[in-house]
Amino acid sequence: MHIVVCIKQVPDSAQIRVHPVTNTIMRQGVPAIINPFDLFALEEALRLKDKYGARVTVMSMGPAQAEEAMKKALSFGANDAILVSDKIFAGADTLATSYALAAAIRKLDETRPVDIVFTGKQTIDGDTAQVGPGLAIRLNAQLLTYVSKIRGIDAATREIVVERRAEGGVQVLASKMPCVVTMLEGSNEMRFATMPDMFRAARFDVQHWNRDAAGIEDIKQVGLKGSPTVVAKVFAPSPKAVKAEMIPGETPAAQCTALVDRLFAEHPKLAADLLKHLDSLNHSPEAAR
Amino acid sequence: MSETVSEKFDAIVVGAGPAGNAAAYTLAKAGLAVLQIERGEYPGSKNVQGAILYSHALEAIIPDFRDSAPLERHIVEQRMWLLDESTSYTGAHFRSEEFNKPPYNRYTIIRARFDKWFSQQVRDAGALVICETTVTGLLKNEAGKVIGVRTERENGDILADVVILADGVNSLVGQRAGLRPDIAPKDAALAVKEILFLPKEVIEQRFNVSGSQGVVIEIAGSITGGMLGTAFLYTNKDSLAIGVGCILEDMKKQKMTPAELLERVKRHPAIRPLIEGGEMKEYAAHLIPEGGYNALPQLYGDGWVMVGDSAGFVNAIHREGSNLAMTTGRIAAETVIELKTAGKPFSAANLAAYKARLDDSFVMKDLKKYAEAPDMLLDNPHMLGMYPDFLARSAQTMLTVDGIDKRAKQREILARLKQKRSLWGIIGDAYKFWRAFK
Ligand SMILES: Cc1cc2nc3c(=O)[nH]c(=O)nc-3n(C[C@H](O)[C@H](O)[C@H](O)COP(=O)(O)OP(=O)(O)OC[C@H]3O[C@@H](n4cnc5c(N)ncnc54)[C@H](O)[C@@H]3O)c2cc1C
């Protein structure tokens, strides 16, 4: 079984700041990490490796620096890493990204047939959740989104059974392979790499595939040229100017009462709901006991 | 419990700060099999410095570092200010065209970037660098010789002929292995620092510089509320580094938090206009080992040596640390290479050559010179506000950090000052001060 996990290196959004004057996003000096959602995909793939002896290849389209992310994925136990990297890929939106990645996966498939492609649910910098579905369409593979668990794989029938989080419940789906799986966050926890795996990753020669290696013929489909998305403006919501107010009162208890009175006066519905809720609690069997 | 990795190394370096990087680079360049282990996410992710880089120490390791290292500004002007609590200041400024001639003597750097660059040089030289991995202890054989390290990872015991401890001021590894005591509160300064983002043009205007020129402001006086300590303000390309540090014992006594102290410095009318509008990018707190010569622990033993902050190599009087870290790292590595080449074992007796080399260098000469200063200043906190004139005249010479020992430099300054000696007068405080700094 051959599994490809698509990962992306993203700026650690927890460390991005907004410039107070220009209101623009300051990316400078922000460390790069593996898109946190992708880690769930990678861990799930590694579990299939442990269970079925699958081979796991991580793939990313990105600049040369993304090699750091590839090495990290290798340290967790991935067998191989391919960085699809070419100047002409710069400025790609989700359409162009899925085009380039699909081409590379098809290329890889020629030498080692691919059974499952994993992606994270979405990235933290784009938040579109479009690359996974885009890959499925382009690869003509089954699409399983928001997967929270892989129940099992039958190698003989080439069937995979997964749990998918849907509105109001969990669906259990069976699908043929090859398929594309986008993993939901919180579905597992990334393992702690062993020392020998750390050594292996540090020494690993990550393959760099340019557009030729990835088998891309139509360069109008990749990079900025292949990207119909236009980012008109990036801005942070302007902070609301709300005046701080001191609640007077002799004791903390008196201050609290004054605060609650004020809140209820300003939000009568909240007060009513809360009272109703408290009322129902008082009449519950537990309260009666 | 933990299994040993089958691969054995000539040397393991613990920590990827300036000391560890200098050691690992020097060893790898000489062709030794080197493993370097760093607990941070990447080298520099946890490291804090003002930060002034003194060229000479790095030049001795990577002569052409200026071609590729991420340097912020070269220093053309040094200001030494004595700030009172909240109203006024006196100070001296030195600006010299000598400092404006390449190759430059000092630069401001941002450690997170600099350490990353340095680490890349280490990797390129052939060392195996493993991050996000904490060394939890040292492996010893029955005879008590250090034979490797233990890490928190599965199969994480690794063997080596010699272990270089470059794990910084807290050096838990050294402490746990009983190689050095915990650092005493009187020997450690707690320093906090912020990076404030400001447009390049604003910095150039406010500090009267252009191009890659930069300014350093070193601050002492009653701004630290009677605690022994200093503050600083350095110019980066498009940010300012501002920080303050005081001896931990004093801070405990005065129940002052470092954050409060830094706010006080930032509010001071001498500082406020310089940093106005700066957007805070980074806030960090870190210890500095300031005990000096008298607080140095045992520096080597069977199978191990200690370098940089982990051994307390900081010249607090001159605010030098990273250059001592790099120099001790380099000298330790050179000692190891020499023993390895000669086929000699890494016994304590053989590694004593490390200490002997250090004694011969500016590192030990400078630390010895100021051996009494930390305690004297601690007992006479008012001293730090004295003799600005002397500092003024000495600064140009003394601040040119180039690996020449400070005593030689001082002879030069003394000759210059001798005619004016009557101005100084001989008072008790001055005598004490002189004794500690002679
Ligand atoms: C606020 C401030 C300002 C300063 N300003 C200056 C200045 O302007 N100029 C100057 O020259 N010096 C300055 N110094 C001092 C200077 O920063 C230090 O002397 C220098 O960083 C020491 O280098 P080092 O490599 O010994 O230690 P560090 O830089 O502290 O590096 C130690 C490394 O070891 C790693 N480590 C620790 N424990 C473990 C473990 N168990 N396993 C694996 N890795 C571990 C740490 O993560 C760290 O990366 C300043 C210090 C401070 C705090």
Confirm whether B364 is domain-assigned: no
A118 vs A139: CA distance, rounded Å: 13
Task: Render pLDDT for A201-236 as a digit per residue (tens, 0 to 9).
Answer: 999 999 999 999 999 989 899 998 888 988 787 777
- Across the range A148-164, mean pLDDT stands at 95
Considering the domain architecture, whether residues B236 and B218 belong to the same structural domain is answered as: yes
Considering the domain architecture, whether residues B163 and B122 belong to the same structural domain is answered as: yes
B129 vs A198: CA distance, rounded Å: 9
Considering the domain architecture, whether residues B153 and B121 belong to the same structural domain is answered as: yes
Q: Do the beta carbons of residue A183 and residue A6 sit within 8 Å? A: no
Confirm whether B242 is domain-assigned: yes
Contact A195 B154 (CB under 8 A): yes
Q: How far is the CA of B166 from the centre of ligand 1 (A)?
A: 9
A69: left (phi over 0), alpha (psi -120 to 50) or beta: alpha
Kindly identify which residue of chain B lies nearest to residue A26, measuring between CA atoms: B281
Q: Is the CB of B289 under 6 A from ligand 1?
A: no
Considering the domain architecture, whether residues B339 and B426 belong to the same structural domain is answered as: no
- Which is more confident, A67 or A246? A67
Kindly identify which residue of chain B lies nearest to residue A193, measuring between CA atoms: B153
Considering the domain architecture, whether residues B43 and B150 belong to the same structural domain is answered as: yes
Q: Which of B112, B153, B282 sits opposite A192 (nearest CB)?
A: B153
Q: In the block, which residue shows the tokens 């079984």?
A: A1
Calculate Rg over the CA atoms of chain B. Answer: 22
Run of H or E residues at B18: helix B18-29
pLDDT at residue B386 is higher than 60: no
Cα separations in angstroms, A288 against A273, A282, A283, A284, B322:
21, 7, 7, 6, 69
Quick one: pLDDT at residue B5? 75
**Which of B35, B39, B216 should be mutated for ligand 1, with most atoms under 8 A from CB?**
B39
Confirm whether B83 is domain-assigned: no
Task: Render pLDDT for A74-129 as a digit per residue (tens, 0 to 9).
Answer: 999 999 999 999 999 988 888 899 999 999 999 999 999 999 999 998 888 877 88
How is chain A classified by DSSP, letter by letter?
-EEEEE--EEE-GGG-EE-TTT--EE-TTPPEEE-HHHHHHHHHHHHHHHHH--EEEEEEES-GGGHHHHHHHHHHT-SEEEEE--GGGTT--HHHHHHHHHHHHHHHHHHS---EEEEES--TTT----HHHHHHHHHT-EEEEEEEEEEEEETTTTEEEEEEEETTEEEEEEEESSEEEEEPTTSS-PPPPPHHHHHHHHH---EEE-TTTTT---GGGSTTTT---------PPPPP-----PPP-SSHHHHHHHHHHHHHHH-HHHHHHHHHHHHHHHTSHHHH-
Kindly identify which residue of chain A lies nearest to residue B156, measuring between CA atoms: A195
Residues in chain B within 8 Å Cβ distance of A31: 41-42, 45
Kindly identify which residue of chain B lies nearest to residue A19, measuring between CA atoms: B279
Considering the domain architecture, whether residues B17 and B149 belong to the same structural domain is answered as: yes
Considering the domain architecture, whether residues B135 and B222 belong to the same structural domain is answered as: no
Q: Which domain holds residue B265?
A: 186-289
Q: Tell me: cis bond preceding A248? Omega within 30 of 0 counts.
A: no
Q: Is the CB of B52 under 6 A from ligand 1?
A: yes
Instruction: Return all residues near B291 (Cβ < 8 A) that are at least 6 apart.
Output: B183, B184, B186, B187, B188, B312, B374
Size of interface A-B (CB pairs under 8 A): 46
Q: Is the CB of B242 under 6 A from ligand 1?
A: no
Q: How far is the CA of A3 from the centre of ligand 1 (A)?
A: 42
Quick one: pLDDT at residue A283? 76
Q: Is the CB of B314 under 6 A from ligand 1?
A: yes
- Structural domains counted in chain B: 3
Q: Tell me: cis bond preceding A253? Omega within 30 of 0 counts.
A: no
Smallest Cα distance from B154 to chain A, Å: 5
CATH code of the domain containing B197? 3.30.9.90
Considering the domain architecture, whether residues B305 and B428 belong to the same structural domain is answered as: no
Q: Is the CB of B335 under 6 A from ligand 1?
A: no
**Residue with the nearest Cα to atom 15 of ligand 1?**
B321
- Across the range A150-178, mean pLDDT stands at 95
**Which of B129, B288, B290, B326 should be mutated for ligand 1, with most atoms under 8 A from CB?**
B288
Confirm whether B101 is domain-assigned: no
Considering the domain architecture, whether residues B64 and B137 belong to the same structural domain is answered as: yes
The β-bridge relationship of strands A169-176 and A159-166 is antiparallel
pTM recorded for the entire structure: 0.85
Task: Render pLDDT for B203-249 as a digit per residue (tens, 0 to 9).
Answer: 999 999 999 999 999 998 888 888 889 999 999 999 999 999 999 99
Smallest Cα distance from A33 to chain B, Å: 10
Q: Is the CB of B321 under 6 A from ligand 1?
A: yes
Smallest Cα distance from B393 to chain A, Å: 39
Q: How far is the CA of B18 from the centre of ligand 1 (A)?
A: 7
- DSSP type of residue B278: P
Considering the domain architecture, whether residues B148 and B219 belong to the same structural domain is answered as: no
Domain boundary among B336, B359, B382: B359
A182 vs A169: CA distance, rounded Å: 17
Confirm whether B51 is domain-assigned: yes
Q: Whose CA is closest to B228, among B18, B10, B436, B6?
A: B436
Cα separations in angstroms, B83 against B4, B90, B264:
56, 7, 11
- Across the range B260-271, mean pLDDT stands at 94
Q: Is the CB of B48 under 6 A from ligand 1?
A: yes
Considering the domain architecture, whether residues B170 and B302 belong to the same structural domain is answered as: yes
Model ipTM value:
0.83
Considering the domain architecture, whether residues B153 and B281 belong to the same structural domain is answered as: no
Q: Can you read off the two tokens belonging to residue A225?
A: 């040229």
CATH code of the domain containing B162? 3.50.50.60
pLDDT at residue A130 is higher than 60: yes
